[in-house]
Structure 1
Amino acid sequence: MEHALTPHLRTLPFVLLDGALATELEPMGCDLADPLWSAKVLLEAPEKIRTVHAAYLAAGADVVTTASYQATYEGFAGRGLGADAATGLMQRSVQLAREARDAYWSGLAEADRASRLRPLVAASVGPYGAMLADGSEYRGHYGLDVKTLMDFHRPRLAALLAAGPDLLACETLPSLLEAQALVQLLENEFPDAQAWISFSCTDDRHISEGTALDACVAELSPCPQVLAIGFNCTAPRHAQSLLAAAAAVPDHKPLLLYPNSGEGYDAATKCWHGSRDAAGFAASAKGWLEAGARLIGGCCRTGPAEIAALAAWRTTLAT
């Protein structure tokens, strides 16, 4: 099986991921105060999702991630949509990203295409806790077994993969158990699929449910369909320590991170506090790269400015 990320990993100092989707959709007039979160925009204004993907590609992203993080059959059923409609919306999320990627690529001059690799589309697979829309993706402890988690994820994976993404982005996972359920699905039922596995972390060592990140990396690295392992939606102050621990695991998969901007979130008021600093975010990436990261991007409260700053810095590494 050809590794979807191999050309990028072989050629680039690091693979540049995109940034947040919701952070860009809200200023465009999208009300995301909804259990479906950004997946709500698939129903109401899908062209705005394509516009955000295009902005990240223009900023230099090598991978764009679909608006399917909170897209689930259960979530869409809560809006009165049947299975066929839900499948169509999930597949539309992949199509929007592919359309943006293809338009960007065809619009480049031949010399520009020769100087970079064709960007990839990663289909976002959010955790079971994202469907609950109660913050459980940052806690875990669902009280579910592997079989139940496999049953939950199976139809989503089938729908997303049928739309032809380059890989899956299994992200913000709070527990090793859920990652194991996803890997079992890949190995047993989707042998041609590839994915990265990304956890939410709460401190310098542990994923949200309490397992050490390095233990997760050791457990999952032997799976050939797992292309990279790391963390996202995590405060950047924890990044270097988490990476250092993961990098110490023998024969580990390429490490990834796409942390939040560094602003603080107040769950009581549902507001972010602090200020964004794209240049500072990119400056922090020097330490992440030195600690072992091979894929770097942004999560909540990051946008095209942060990705462009990372792209500009990466250019200096290649000279």
Structure 2
Amino acid sequence: MKQVEAQQLATILANGPLVVDGAMATELEKKGIDTANDLWSATALLNAPSAIKEVHRSYFVAGANIVLTNSYQANLPAFEAHGFSEDEGQHLIQKSVQLAQEARDEYAQTLSADKKRPLLIAGSVGPYGAYLANGSEYTGDYLLSKEEYKNFHRPRMQVLAQAGVDLFAFETQPNFAETQALAELLYEEFPEMLAWLSFSVDGKDKLCDGTPLKQGVSYFVDDDQIVAIGVNCTSPTNVSGLLGIMQAKTTKPLVVYPNNGDTYDPLTKRWQIDHDTPSFSKLVPQWQHAGASLIGGCCQTTPADIGEIARNIQKIKSE
């Protein structure tokens, strides 16, 4: 499949709802791949690329319209710290796109004409805090200059764009200054590319660095290359309230992909299970009513969860 053109992509996003995929690391761990290190799920780019492809395909089969490349933690400084050259690091990032594309194309061949739907690849661009691997993507507690942010993100974005992602996903972004730098970099050096921007939030009404969510959303209202905006990696029970804040500030498509409700300790890298979180079947209709048009899952969510989201979206469409 060819890379979707910008105008076509904007139309697809505006005519949602669309289903976003779920967790990568959770599924890799089920396959026996150790992700408890500073490369996290990107470890599998080194030793288990076929497993990444299988996970992508499982999400397409479950009903996802969009899968994210396994590049959230894949950046050149991280790879170089593990002894890889710049060329080798670039190849690994390129591999993250290739695996998603192969899964998409192979799955698309199984669909009959009446079952075809938009199938997109979003290039995952995690925050600088993810590179630090100290949990700061949940605090935003780091400070770089605008040029330092750009210099960090530029190489990965270049490879993702050249490899043919349909759009960027600036995701789990806790630091307002970093999102401003990302948007400026997008405008200056990737004028043909679009992106969604998904904040990491405190669960209530602020980015993790303390910036009011309404301020963060308002800043990008007139940015034509940021074609959707939202939140991810938060509890499902926070989403409706966050959607209310965002919908009051923008008419852009809203993207939400929360965790499954479990609580993560970034220091021990372990999850505490929460058995009381409402099901996606109960929450998805609420989120759509509150304005969400791209819905998926983040940490600990599974293909079964994405299938549940897809079925509920389809049910609402047919009503």
Query: TM-score of the superposition, structure 1-length normalised?
Result: 0.94
Per-residue deviation, 1:3: 4.6
Q: 2: distance between equivalents of 1:83 and 1:316?
A: 47
Q: 2: distance between equivalents of 1:276 and 1:299?
A: 17
What is the identity, as a one-letter code, of the residue corresponding to 2:252?
K
Corresponding residue of 2:290: 291
Per-residue deviation, 1:220: 1.0
**Aligned residue runs from structure 1 range 6-45, under 5 A:** 6-10=11-15, 12=16, 14-45=17-48
Deviations 1:134-184 (A, max 9, x none): 011111131211111011111111111110000011100111111111100
Give the ranges of 4+ consecutive aligned residues of structure 1 lying more than 4 Å apart after TM superposition: 275-279
Gaps of 5+ in 2: 1-5
Q: 2: distance between equivalents of 1:318 and 1:207?
A: 32
**Aligned residue runs from structure 1 range 157-236, under 5 A:** 157-236=157-236
Deviations 1:76-121 (A, max 9, x none): 00111011000011011001001100100012123322xxx23000
Corresponding residue of 2:299: 300
Q: 2: distance between equivalents of 1:279 and 1:316?
A: 18
What is the identity, as a one-letter code, of the residue corresponding to 2:287?
W
* 1:4 maps to 2:9: yes
Q: 2: distance between equivalents of 1:32 and 1:226?
A: 31
Corresponding residue of 1:312: 311
What is the identity, as a one-letter code, of the residue corresponding to 2:313?
R
Contact 1:265–1:271 (8 Å) recurs in 2: yes
Per-residue deviation, 1:271: 2.4
Contact 2:232–2:259 (8 Å) recurs in 1: yes
Q: 2: distance between equivalents of 1:57 and 1:125?
A: 21
Per-residue deviation, 1:23: 0.7
Corresponding residue of 2:261: 262
Q: 2: distance between equivalents of 1:107 and 1:139?
A: 43
Q: Secondary structure at the match of 1:312?
A: helix
Q: 1: distance between equivalents of 2:197 and 2:267?
A: 29
Q: 2: distance between equivalents of 1:166 and 1:19?
A: 18
Change (3 A) 1:241 1:26: same
**Aligned residue runs from structure 1 range 109-128, under 5 A:** 109-113=112-116, 117-128=117-128
Moved more, 102-111 or 170-179: 102-111
What is the identity, as a one-letter code, of the residue corresponding to 1:74?
P
Corresponding residue of 1:75: 78
**Aligned residue runs from structure 1 range 150-161, under 5 A:** 150-161=150-161
Corresponding residue of 2:3: none
Per-residue deviation, 1:269: 4.3
Q: 2: distance between equivalents of 1:24 and 1:229?
A: 26
Corresponding residue of 2:252: 253
What is the identity, as a one-letter code, of the residue corresponding to 2:52?
I
Contact 2:284–2:312 (8 Å) recurs in 1: no
Q: Secondary structure at the match of 2:261?
A: coil
Q: 2: distance between equivalents of 1:269 and 1:157?
A: 30
Corresponding residue of 2:66: 63
Change (3 A) 1:56 1:88: same
Gaps of 5+ in 1: none
Moved more, 222-231 or 138-147: 138-147
Q: Secondary structure at the match of 1:318?
A: helix
Q: 1: distance between equivalents of 2:156 and 2:267?
A: 31
Q: 2: distance between equivalents of 1:43 and 1:8?
A: 33
